[in-house]
Structure 1
Amino acid sequence: MKIVIVGAGAMGSRFGFMLKQAGQDVALIDGWDKNVEALQKDGIIANYNGEEIQQPIEAYHEDAVDPELKADLLIIFTKAMQLEATLQKTQAYTHNETRVLCLLNGIGYEDILRRYFDEDQIIIGNTMWTAGLEGPGRPKLFGDGSVNLLNLGKSDAAVSGAHEVIDIFNEAGLNGVYEKGIFYLIYKKLCVNGTMNGLCSLLECNMAELGATEANREIVQQLVSEIVAIAQAEDVEMSREEMIAHVEECYNPETIGLHYPSMYQDLIKNNRSTEIDFINGAIADKGKKYGIATPYNDFLTRLIHTKEELLGAK
């Protein structure tokens, strides 16, 4: 099986590294010139749980993909706002039986996937793996994790396709799990991303620093309440109290509290546009659809867009 990973940042590099180490035929595609140059020259040089390991790997710039390349499994790790443009380009190296796995933050991206692929080809997922990027071609891979997957289509072929991907992931130590309750996990993760990402970016702090402030608590509770209300409108059963407690676990400096969320790294550190429209913005859009008030999510979306403009984010 030819596996093509689009988006060779921290997470894309982790999956590429682990799959290649397990003997899979893997190619990476990315749009960052220096990253592609490093990958083509030296492969992935990973800080893998404190040990430096070099892994040669096939890599292409997104605008210079080998015309002979054809993906049997396409894994997408781009930013959500880049998904449409990414899918347009992938048509050159996919075929009618390509399975596409999307592991993006946020919600609503499955509607974009349906424009380019049949439902039986689409697998959606949620990953708990972590990774960082110390430089071009140099991911920092630490800790343990898992990947929860579910086929979007309902046919036997769609189900078997998802299980085949899980088997491949398990052989590579990626801990794949077939998860019928995937939308619960997606909304659970959204509760964290919908609070920590936007607030830490606006206030320019890590999660422990945010949690140490008293004034943030009502904001977090209101954001989570709106997310839970949308989840329930889509027949995803969630407890508001459990989700608030789950978010507050992020404040612990002995676990992940000292971490700066990905949106902070994009906007504050690297001056890049954010995924806010697929996180809080998506909740606000669904609120309009279902007639549910989402003022906190709508306001946070507008504040992040305002900060993007002030910083000239691209």
Structure 2
Amino acid sequence: MRIGIAGAGAMGSRFGYMLSEAGQDVTLIDSWSDHVEAIKANGLQIDWNGESRVAPFKIVYPHEVAGTFDLIICFTKAMGLDQMLSSIQSAIGPDTALLCLLNGIGHEETVRKYVPDANFILGTTIWTAGLDGPGRAHLYGSGAVALENMENSESAKRKAYEVAELLDGAGLNASYSDSVRYSIYRKATLNGAVNAMCTILECNLNTFGSTQSSEEIIVGILNEFGDVAAHEGINLDREEVLNYIHSIFSPDSIGEHYPSMYQDLVKNNRITEIDYLNGAIARKGKDYGIPTPFCELVTLLVHAKEEIRGAK
């Protein structure tokens, strides 16, 4: 299958590498010139759970994409999704399946500008990855993928099942879900509760989770996500989500991990996705008449930090 990875950052590199190792025809697509040129010259340099590997890859800029893909997997930053899909629109054929695995909430409207619901698959993943610099990926730990077709038809469901089987065959632990929007809210709640705080405090998951203040902050943010989700007919199991958040703080889990938001702002001085996490809950809360003071403050603090650092 000809697969395009739209956004070849940390997670795009992970999925691209694992699919390529499984024998798929993978092309990475990205606009970060240092990263693209490094991979073109030297392949993707990988730290795979402490083992050094090198993977030669086809990688192109969006304007260099040629032909159509059978499957496009989106891993851009949320604010770059529209521009990416617009740039590679010629590679989206009438039968191209598009799998959106972006962090955060509210990407459906953007994707629907480019593909019909019959070809649109929405998903979420709890895999982790990091970039140690241009062309250098740090891949460790385990994860999973859940996905669901957006059109309620047998043909769309079959397409989603086929994509799940493809990813699962590459070791990505993928499965079909009848409730992917629940999974997306669950992951967004996790990210909203810890990513911004690790970014503001400049620490990893374990360090934040070890502070005396963490529990009150996490519960406050979790409840705001849960209240907004409930208004949309999604009833989060708040106790389960809280227990899961606690579990990731352990060094035996992913406690030593620095979240993607930290990597974006603190490490690479890039604008974050806060508006698609806590910021999305703050906006929805205003629309629904639901108080969201924790999410509002966290969003303002991250934006202030972006401004102070001159993030781009």
For 1:201 and 1:132, locate their aligned partners in 2 and report how far apart those are by CA, in whole Å. Answer: 15
Q: 1:209 to 1:45 in 2, by over 3 A?
A: closer
Range with bigger deviation, 235-244 or 224-233: 235-244
Superposed, which structure 2 residues align to 1:1-314 within 5 Å? 1-62=1-62, 64-66=63-65, 68-314=66-312
Range with bigger deviation, 275-284 or 238-247: 238-247
Q: 1:32 to 1:157 in 2, by over 3 A?
A: same
Write out per-residue CA displacement over residues 170-208 of structure 1, whole angstroms, 9 at most, x where no aligned residue: 222222200112122211111211011111111222222
Q: Count how many residue pairs are aligned between Structure 1 and Structure 2.
A: 312
Q: What is the CA-CA distance between 1:53 and the residue it aligns to?
A: 3.1
For 2:133 and 2:211, locate their aligned partners in 1 and report how far apart those are by CA, in whole Å. Answer: 33
SS at structure 1 position matched to 2:94: coil
Q: 1:46 to 1:205 in 2, by over 3 A?
A: closer
For 2:212 and 2:50, locate their aligned partners in 1 and report how far apart those are by CA, in whole Å. Answer: 37
The question of whether the paired residues in 1 share the 8 Å contact of 2:126 and 2:187 is answered with no
Structure 1: gaps spanning 5 or more residues? none
Q: What is the CA-CA distance between 1:163 and the residue it aligns to?
A: 1.1
For 1:175 and 1:6, locate their aligned partners in 2 and report how far apart those are by CA, in whole Å. Answer: 20
For 2:51 and 2:202, locate their aligned partners in 1 and report how far apart those are by CA, in whole Å. Answer: 32
Q: 1:211 to 1:172 in 2, by over 3 A?
A: closer
SS at structure 2 position matched to 1:75: strand
Structure 2: gaps spanning 5 or more residues? none
Q: What is the CA-CA distance between 1:73 and the residue it aligns to?
A: 0.6
For 1:57 and 1:210, locate their aligned partners in 2 and report how far apart those are by CA, in whole Å. Answer: 36
In structure 2, what residue type is equivalent to 1:31?
S
For 2:251 and 2:165, locate their aligned partners in 1 and report how far apart those are by CA, in whole Å. Answer: 35
Range with bigger deviation, 113-122 or 268-277: 113-122
Normalization by structure 2: what TM-score? 0.94
For 1:208 and 1:171, locate their aligned partners in 2 and report how far apart those are by CA, in whole Å. Answer: 32
For 2:284 and 2:203, locate their aligned partners in 1 and report how far apart those are by CA, in whole Å. Answer: 29
SS at structure 2 position matched to 1:98: strand
Range with bigger deviation, 154-163 or 205-214: 205-214
Write out per-residue CA displacement over residues 20-42 of structure 1, whole angstroms, 9 at most, x where no aligned residue: 11111111111111211122223
The question of whether the paired residues in 1 share the 8 Å contact of 2:141 and 2:254 is answered with no
Write out per-residue CA displacement over residues 259-299 of structure 1, whole angstroms, 9 at most, x where no aligned residue: 22111111111111000000011111221232212121122
For 2:14 and 2:198, locate their aligned partners in 1 and report how far apart those are by CA, in whole Å. Answer: 25
The question of whether the paired residues in 2 share the 8 Å contact of 1:103 and 1:127 is answered with yes
Write out per-residue CA displacement over residues 45-77 of structure 1, whole angstroms, 9 at most, x where no aligned residue: 323333333332211023x414x3311211111
